[in-house]
Amino acid sequence: MKKLYNYIILVVLLISGCTKDLDLYPLDSISDATFWETADDFKLASNNLYYSLSQQKIEADVESEIAYFTDNSISNGTYVVSDTDDKWNTPYTYIRQCNKIFAEAENSGKLEDADVKRFVAEAKFFRAWNYWMLFRLYGGVPLIKDVPDIDSEGLYDARATRKETVDFMLQDLTDATLDLPLKSSLASADVGRITKGAALSLKARIALFEGTWGKYHGTGDGGYLDVAIASASEVIDSNEFSLFTGKGAESYRYLFIEEGDDSPESILDSRYEVNVRGQNFSDRILGGEYIPTKKLADEYLCTDGLPIDKSDDFNGYDTRTSEYENRDPRMEMTFVRPGSSVVWSLFPEPIESWPFFPSRNGNTGYMTNKYRSENEFGNTTQQNQFGWDTHVIRYAEVLLIYAEALYEKNGSISDIDLDKSINVIRDRVGMLPLKNTFVSSNGLDMKEEIRRERTVELALEGYRYDDLRRWKIAEEVLPQTVLGIKIVGSQWGTDPIIINDDDKNIYLKEDYQSRTDANGFLIVEPSERRYFDEGKHYLRPLPTREININPKLEQNPGW
């Protein structure tokens, strides 16, 4: 299916609309009346929609508190209303293309053709996907359901409500499931295309988001938690997917590079291929662009199943590696243990990681192991040519949705359902199962443990900012100081080898010593530079240009 991208340039030429004044300009670029005659034509048109999956950014966690690169306007709360915004424009471009496919299927009399119906169903999925890209940022948006004429009043509709927007997305996904194939029935050339499981999984994601948003923002869950439970359960019970275990104890780490492509855990991936559509995530990580923080490090349980503040197994911070000892194995598969020998792209042999050089470790002092490719390129001309896929929806997320939705709906979750969901995930890495008796006997909170599991399993995959907003804790969490490694009172300040070596004691220089908190942890970004306005920042502002064009559009609160 990766060869799909060979067709995309042609598709862009065929079906991309252009506009000078209005982003909802009707899609009428295809003038060749012979194009929409075969199922292959509809397949070709659908191929272009797969590019819209790249709108989900794995690096989006830098907008939260668990990852850092540099100051950014989202976590700092300094972003302003802009004239235009690709986050608004791009989804509507793809929505227009979806509507074009629907219109041509109807106009050509092909709606009853089974092969055509499949690609119409793909377009249904992608219309929901692109409305999801809008909804998660802006809330309710105008629902464009067809290809309007240039003077159509539909181009100037008011925003739909949150409920109307969510119900529209869920209906598209429900309709799509009727004509989408199971993953197990795909021909080898079609592996990676949209399946029934992908539609159900996105339905579960959207329903969990809005169900918890409504619960914690005071409007009620609207029945969406039931939808999330049912949709996730259908995916689980289908037995179409399972966790990737092909690399044994290291499977979690290898899931996110070449070995994880087309794994049984992949429900939907954004697909890449060297010399066709390459990517550079490994190089960006090597350059310190996407680095975990102390907040993420502290989320990992000790091997006895307890948090670090409750566990006797936590070894503190005396050495550079103490905090990694006796911890959930996913910590060391997400963070690079200082001083460990690892293979990096561009280096032909394993090398020691750079524990002494903050310019290599990123601003937090930590290094990222997740997405670290072991594909060794011998020259820098291929830095942007990694071909491994990024996971848009994976089975572990569905298991987490199921557990969280059940708990949020009922205020409890049975051990049977924990074994069906979270404990499947824990078993892959050899962690103790989560049980109700364990939670109660150790003074833990089941809701927080379910959220913790989601945080560590999906760490650095781009979900955290949305999670903070739907749980309505963003105003508490985001303004907090971002911390990195412990410097004062650790090996950095006590080991003579480090203290007396100018190449290794850089963290002890005045610049770093002056940036530690009362407990000796590196201050990466102080709370004074981080801001979240509860009355404003839960939603992004609509672009000014759109409001000027369409007076019916109402700006979001506070903007």
| pLDDT tens digits, 458-490 | 999 999 999 999 999 999 999 999 999 998 888
pLDDT at 151: 63
pLDDT (mean) for 291-308: 98
pLDDT at 513: 74
Residue 556 lies in a domain: no
Q: Is residue 396 part of a domain?
A: yes
CA-only gyration radius of the chain, Å: 24
Mean pLDDT of 19-31: 37
Return the higher-pLDDT residue of 368 and 349.
368
Q: How far apart are CA 242 and CA 395, in angstroms?
A: 6
Please report the beta strands in 41-82, taking only residues with DSSP state E, as ranges in sequence order. Answer: 67-68
Distance set, CA 104 to CA 36, 43, 44, 135, 176 (Å)? 7, 13, 13, 27, 17
d(CA 487, CA 513): 8
- What is the residue whose two structure tokens read 């809008």? 134
Per the listing, tokens 């992949």 go with 266
Percent over 70 (pLDDT), the chain: 89
Tokens of 341: 């020998």
Task: Give tens-digit pLDDT for 160-214.
Answer: 999 999 999 999 999 999 999 999 999 999 999 999 999 999 999 999 999 999 9
Count Cβ atoms below 10 Å from residue 8 Cβ, excluding itself: 17
10 in any annotated domain: no
Residue 14, pLDDT > 50, answer no
* Residue 381 clears pLDDT 90, i.e. is over it: no
- What's the average model confidence in pLDDT over 333-358? 75
Average pLDDT over residues 534-546: 97
> What is residue 112's predicted lDDT score, i.e. its pLDDT?
85
Q: Rounded to an integer, what distance in angstroms lies between the CA atom of residue 10 and that of residue 518?
A: 59
Calculate the average pLDDT of the chain: 89
d(CA 407, CA 471): 13
For 234, list phi and psi in degrees, rounded to 5. Answer: -65, -40
Q: Rounded to 5 degrees, what are φ and ψ at 229?
A: -60, -50
User: Number of structural domains, the chain?
Assistant: 1
Sign of the CA dihedral with 192 first, then 280, 372, and 289 last = negative
Place of tokens 């424009």: 89
Question: How far is residue 215's CA from residue 471's CA, in Å, rounded to a whole number?
Answer: 8
Asked whether the beta carbons of 449 and 438 are under 8 A apart, the reply is: no
What value does the mean pLDDT take over residues 440-453? Answer: 99
Whether 112 maps to a domain, the answer reads: no
User: Which SS3 state, helix, strand or coil, does residue 291 take?
Assistant: strand
pLDDT digits (tens, 9 = 90+) for 388-411: 899 999 999 999 999 999 999 999
- Helices 39-47 & 8-15 angle (0-180, nearest 10): 100
Q: What does the pLDDT read at residue 21? A: 31
| 394 bridge partner residues | 266
Query: 370 lies in a domain?
Result: no
CA 493 to CA 479: how far, in whole Å? 29
Cβ proximity of 490 and 317 under 8 Å = yes
pLDDT in tens, 36-65: 889 999 999 999 999 999 999 888 999 999
* pLDDT, mean of residues 413-417: 99
Model confidence at 509, pLDDT cuts 50, 70, 90, reads: confident
pLDDT at res. 506: 76
* Residue 241's CATH number: 1.25.40.390
Task: Give residue-wise pLDDT tens across range 137-160.
Answer: 999 999 999 987 766 666 788 999
Query: Which range is most confident: 51-65, 127-141, 265-279?
Result: 127-141
Q: What is the domain range of residue 443?
A: 181-276+389-472
Q: Are 165 and 140 in contact (CB under 8 A)?
A: yes
Residue 327 makes CB contacts below 8 A (sequence gap 6+) with 300, 301, 302, 303
- Cut 0.95: pTM above it: no
Tell me which residue has tokens 């999984």. 201
Question: CA 555 to CA 544: how far, in whole Å?
Answer: 9
What distance in Å separates the CA atoms of residue 381 and residue 150, rounded to the nearest whole number? 46
Pairing of strands 521-525, 266-270: unpaired
Nearest to 427 by CA among 455, 396, 458, 406: 396
**Mean pLDDT lowest among 219-223, 268-272, 422-426:** 219-223
pLDDT tens sequence across 486-499? 988 888 777 787 77
Is 300 or 487 the better-scoring residue by pLDDT? 300
The reply to whether 99 falls in a domain is no
pLDDT of residue 158: 95
CA distance 332 to 328: 8
Q: Are 81 and 546 contacting, i.e. CB atoms less than 8 angstroms apart?
A: no
**Per-residue model confidence (pLDDT) at position 7:** 42
Assign 277 to helix, strand or coil: strand
Indicate if the pLDDT at residue 23 is higher than 50: no
DSSP symbol at 555? P
Q: Are 255 and 262 in contact (CB under 8 A)?
A: no
CB 255 within 8 A of CB 244: yes
3 state SS of 67: strand
Is 234 part of a structural domain of the chain?
Answer: yes
CA distance 193 to 94: 17
- Domain-located, residue 202: yes
pLDDT at 25 over 70: no
Token pair listed for 382: 């291929």
Among 276-280, 310-314, 475-479, the least confident range: 276-280
